[in-house]
């Protein structure tokens, strides 16, 4: 099994980018250890503060954010970072070549029940003509990403990583202390009979998503002609990992439960990196109306609807959004 550096060198990845990725993964190894200690280390439970998203922070949210922020800014190759847990961007080296966005602990509400959580990250090229403290430098489409990945803290600690030449899966070898390549190319099957969505929000969805899910639930007696299974982990990183491993469709659609926040997932440090990974594995990703990686962000904490996974199923769901009165089943 190969280590990360030789694999990336083989792909012709910039040495500074390789160094940055190794630094991010070093922080993730430390986060994995803190997560594994759980109550023994006193890291479970919530703090008394909220993040910029209006969400109560878990202790591990704060710990993971500080670990990542510190090591990334120390690399010297990063001009600025943007995190789900930070109100504003944090400037680094004015001459740094890269920008890093991250969700330090996706699914952190799962920490107290010992369920799946993870770290999601995205790397963008820095604009040499903009100041390190200028947030507008982050407002690039997902197609501009030079690398993206997540680390899943589960029974084993796994990494999904892309630099634009496919999506590879790695597993943390705790005896060696590094990530080793365990899947040369993740490939998402085009067709699926599995979906992941929070059904408790069904009454708040837009009509196209209601119609789409209703047809899945009718099974082989309905328009889709086959039975579907539903899975829901309540952590995007866990649901997307399942999609990468065996296919499926994951959706967090727009809903009207809170009209001031119709979309749930953050574009820059959740939707874009996951879309990059999924597309590089042969899948597709959309809001229902637009390819996610074509969106030009207007704010670093912008939220979007997300539908991603097996290409045929995503295209079919998008067709429902294009014509909700007469949905077209993708070939």
> How much is the pLDDT for 52?
59
State the DSSP H helix or E strand holding residue 90, giving kind and residue range, or none if neither.
Answer: strand 90-91
State the DSSP H helix or E strand holding residue 207, giving kind and residue range, or none if neither.
Answer: helix 207-217
Q: How high is the mean pLDDT in each 10-residue block of the chain (331 residues)?
A: 93 97 97 87 63 68 94 97 96 98 92 90 97 98 98 96 98 92 97 98 96 97 97 96 98 93 96 98 97 98 97 97 59 46
Residue 23 CA, distance from chain mean position = 19
CA distance readout (Å), 280 to 76, 274, 284, 323: 29, 10, 9, 28
What single-letter DSSP state applies at residue 269? I
Between CA 253 and CA 231 the distance in angstroms is: 16
Domains of the chain, by residue range, sit at 4-183, 194-322
Q: Which two three-digit tokens encode residue 165?
A: 């030449």
**What SS3 state is found at 307?**
strand
Which residue ranges make up the annotated binding site for substrate? 106-109, 198, 264
Which residue ranges make up the annotated binding site for Mg(2+)? 84, 103, 105-106, 270
Q: Which two three-digit tokens encode residue 25?
A: 């993964």
Cβ(50)–Cβ(56) below 8 Å: yes
User: Rounded to the nearest 5°, which phi and psi values hold at 195?
Assistant: -135, 155
Between CA 77 and CA 273 the distance in angstroms is: 20
Q: Decide if domain 4-183 falls under CATH 2.60.200.20.
A: no
> How much is the pLDDT for 112?
82
Closest alpha carbon to 68 in 38, 101, 94: 101
Task: Please report the sign of the dihedral spanned by the C-alpha atoms of residue 61, residue 67, residue 69, residue 72.
Answer: negative
Tokens 């295209």 belong to residue: 315
Q: What is the signed CA dihedral for 322, 324, 326, 330, rounded to 10 degrees? A: 50
Cβ(81)–Cβ(69) below 8 Å: yes
Cβ(198)–Cβ(232) below 8 Å: yes
Q: Angle formed by the axes of helices 311-322 and 207-217, to 10°?
A: 130
**Long-range Cβ pairs for the range 207-214 (8 Å, 24+):** 207/324, 208/288, 208/320, 208/321, 208/324, 208/327, 209/251, 209/253, 209/254, 209/288, 209/317, 209/320, 209/321, 211/320, 211/324, 211/327, 212/316, 212/317, 212/320, 212/327
Architecture of the domain delimited by 194-322: 3-Layer(aba) Sandwich (3.40)
Q: Which two three-digit tokens encode residue 272?
A: 């874009």
State the DSSP H helix or E strand holding residue 61, giving kind and residue range, or none if neither.
Answer: helix 59-74
Query: Rounded to the nearest 5 degrees, what angle is found at the Cα of 278, between the Cα atoms of 272 and 284?
Result: 90
HSE-up of residue 145 (Cα within 13 Å, Cβ side) = 35
Which residue ranges make up the annotated binding site? 84, 103, 105-109, 198, 264, 270
């Amino acid at each position: 099994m190969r280590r990360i550096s030789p694999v990336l060198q083989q792909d012709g990845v910039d040495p500074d980018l390789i160094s940055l990725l190794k630094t991010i993964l070093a922080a993730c190894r430390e986060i994995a250890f803190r997560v594994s200690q759980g109550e023994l280390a006193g890291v479970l439970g919530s703090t008394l503060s909220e993040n910029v998203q209006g969400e109560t922070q878990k202790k591990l949210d704060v710990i993971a954010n500080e670990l990542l922020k510190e090591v990334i800014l120390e690399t010297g190759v990063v001009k600025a970072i943007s995190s789900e847990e930070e109100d504003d961007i944090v400037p680094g080296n004015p001459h740094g070549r890269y920008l890093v966005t991250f969700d330090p602990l996706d699914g952190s509400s799962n920490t107290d029940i010992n369920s799946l959580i993870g770290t999601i990250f995205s790397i963008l090229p820095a604009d040499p003509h903009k100041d390190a403290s200028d947030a507008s430098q982050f407002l690039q489409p997902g197609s501009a990403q030079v690398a993206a990945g997540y680390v899943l803290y589960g029974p084993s600690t796994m990494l999904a990583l892309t630099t634009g030449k496919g999506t590879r899966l790695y597993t943390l070898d705790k005896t060696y202390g590094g990530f080793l390549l365990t899947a040369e190319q993740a490939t998402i099957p085009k067709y699926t009979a599995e979906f992941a969505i929070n059904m408790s929000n069904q009454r708040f969805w837009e009509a196209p998503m209601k119609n789409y899910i209703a047809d899945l639930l009718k099974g082989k007696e309905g328009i889709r002609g086959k039975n579907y299974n539903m899975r829901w982990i309540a952590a995007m990183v866990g649901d997307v990992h399942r999609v990468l491993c065996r296919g499926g469709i994951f959706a967090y659609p727009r809903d009207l439960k809170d009209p001031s926040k119709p979309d749930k997932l953050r574009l820059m440090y959740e939707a874009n990196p996951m879309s990059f990974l999924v597309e590089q594995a042969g899948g597709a990703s959309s809001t229902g109306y637009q390819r996610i990686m074509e969106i030009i962000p207007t704010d670093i904490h912008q939220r979007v609807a997300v539908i991603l996974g097996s290409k045929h199923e995503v295209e079919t769901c998008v067709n429902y959004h294009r014509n909700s009165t007469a949905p077209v089943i993708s070939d």
